[in-house]
Each structure stands twice: as structure tokens, then as C-alpha cells.
Chains A and B, each alone.
Chain A
Amino acid sequence: MKKSAKTRRVFLLKLELRSHPTLLCVIRGALEPLIETLGFSPEYCRALVRGVDEAVSNIMKHSYHGRPDQPIELYCNRLQRRANGGEESGIEILLFDCGAAVDTTKLPARPLDEIRPGGLGLHIIRGSMDTVEYKRAGRLNRLRLVKFAGFPKGGCNSAEGKPL
């Protein structure tokens, strides 16, 4: 029987925020330098930040319906796994909110050949991340976003695979 690849998870960051749109820049401003410091490429950093920013925007819009004072928790973990004979590194983002359960089949995601504003958030999240998983756990919505990359070069402690 083939053994499944083991993934190691190291906690990096937790943010507790309210659902106010002006706080989106705080998330971007915290994640971008953190991921860069770990040695991931600028392209990887931009994609990850883009995916997370769109996901949090969706929570604000669809889960909390624009209410600006509701709680959102963000956890950022570093992942490492053996793949294709080498080590692969990635980032896992877990987002929790207490809003209404989201029916993912009803989220607006328009066909990309339509020229009209709106409905792009989901496309951008899926286009930026490797894994997008939504789960309702009790009264919480949990969104898990994962993006892997090749082994990052030159980041702090990257050779040991340790956090900062």
C-alpha cells in the first residue's frame, strides 16, 4: 500500500479582526512581509495575499452581509511535505467567522466571458490558491486555503523548515 505524504504544520500567525473593510489592508500588510520573509517568491506572495484578501472580502459581504463589527479570525500556518522526491513548502490559511452558513452553490461566480462588474471574487480565490475548502462547523464557517510552492530559497530558517 502506498504511504500518503506527511504534511508538517507550523503555526506562524493569528489575527483577530472585525469585519470592517478598512481592515483588509491590515491583513495584506501583515501577510505580505511575513510570507516574503520566509523566502517565497514575489509571485507566490502576491497570489496568496490576493486569495486571502478576496476570501475575507467575501466573508464581509456574504457571511456578514456588510455588518462591519463582526468577528473574523485568521490563522496562518506553514506547511511542509515530501513531494516528487523533494521537499515542498506552502502556506495554509484558516478563516473563521460566525456569520450565516454560506450556500457555496449560490455564491455569485459569473461566467468569465461575460463583461459585467461583480462575481469575480470566487474566480480570483480559486485562481490564486491550490485548495479552497469550506466547512460549516457548529455555528462557525471555516474556510481553508492552501497554496504550495517549490522549496523557498533564502528565507529565515528556511533550511531547517522552522518558523521565524
Chain B
Amino acid sequence: MQFRGGEAIVKISSRKVDKATILDVSGNIDMSNSPEVRKALLREIREKGVTRVVLNLSGVGYIDSSGVASLVEGLKASRESGSRFILFGLNDSPREVLKISHLLKLFEVYDDEAQAVAS
């Protein structure tokens, strides 16, 4: 699948698999829409009290620093509430930006959904 950086819309939907809530995110995350991602993450972690939030990023082609900041906020909120925050399906660009930011090793990252849910 070829990802292009020129798409502005981000779509977020949630579903339950076992004890985890999976958030399927697609599109490109930049400063125009990262507040939506942040809001969705914090709603699951703080308001709904989900104990395991799994973020499916396989449909995300691009994340900028504001998107990374939203992920960091999600991670911090999950640590504060004693829940787990898991990522899977990172494409090249999001993986590279987390690596440059020295944040990749902070997150629990899995290749696919089966691994993320079974972890």
C-alpha cells in the first residue's frame, strides 16, 4: 500500500477485542488534526477508563511532531491511570519520526494486531 503525505483527513474508530479497546486510525496526522487524535486517546484512557488501549497505526502514512506529542500524552495518561498503551502497524514514516525523537523505545510497539492483543 502506497502512502501519500498529501491527505489531510484523519479518521478514528474504536472497537473492543477481548479486554482491549482498539483505535483504528487512518490518514495523516499533522498540526491540523492532531487535537482530534489527542482527544480520542484521552477520552478512552481518562473518561472511559479503558485498561488497555491499542492504537492501530497501519493506516497512517505520516505523523508530525504534534502527532507524536499526542501519542506521548496518551502514554503519560495511561501511565497515570495504570493502563497500558500499545501501538502496532507502524509504517516507515511514523517509525522514523519516533526514532528521530528518541521515543520509539518508550512505547510498546508490535507488528500486528494479533501480537498487540495477545501481549
Residues of A within 8 A of B (CB): 20-22, 24-26, 28-33, 42-43, 46-47, 49-50, 53-54, 57, 60-61, 112-113, 115-118, 120-121, 123-124, 127-128
A-B interface contact total, Cβ < 8 Å: 93
Residues of B within 8 A of A (CB): 4-8, 28, 30-32, 62, 64-66, 68-70, 72-73, 75-76, 92-93, 96-97, 100-103, 106
A116 and B92 in contact (CB under 8 A), knowing A57-B66, A128-B100?
A: no
A50–B31 contact, CB under 8 A?
A: no
Taking the closest CB of chain B, its distance from the CB of A55, in whole angstroms, is 11
Task: Provide 28 A-B residue pairs closer than 8 Å at the C-beta atoms, listed in order of the A residue.
Answer: A21-B30, A22-B8, A22-B32, A24-B30, A24-B64, A25-B5, A25-B32, A26-B6, A28-B4, A29-B4, A30-B6, A32-B5, A50-B64, A50-B96, A50-B97, A53-B62, A115-B103, A116-B72, A117-B70, A117-B72, A118-B69, A120-B68, A120-B69, A120-B101, A123-B100, A123-B101, A124-B65, A127-B100
The docked-state distance in angstroms from the alpha carbon of A20 to that of B73 is 24
A32's partner among B6, B8, B32, B73 (CB-CB below 8 A) is B6
B97's partner among A32, A60, A117, A124 (CB-CB below 8 A) is A124
Among A20, A57, A117, A127, find the residue whose CB has the most chain B CB atoms closer than 10 A.
A117
B32's partner among A24, A31, A33, A124 (CB-CB below 8 A) is A24
Neighbouring A residues of B30 by C-beta, 8 Å: 21, 24-25, 53, 57
Extra contacts besides A28-B4, A29-B4 (9): CB < 8 Å: A21-B31, A26-B6, A28-B62, A32-B5, A50-B62, A53-B5, A57-B65, A113-B102, A117-B68
A25's partner among B8, B69, B73, B75 (CB-CB below 8 A) is B8
B64–A21 contact, CB under 8 A?
A: no
Taking the closest CB of chain B, its distance from the CB of A29, in whole angstroms, is 2
The docked-state distance in angstroms from the alpha carbon of A115 to that of B93 is 21
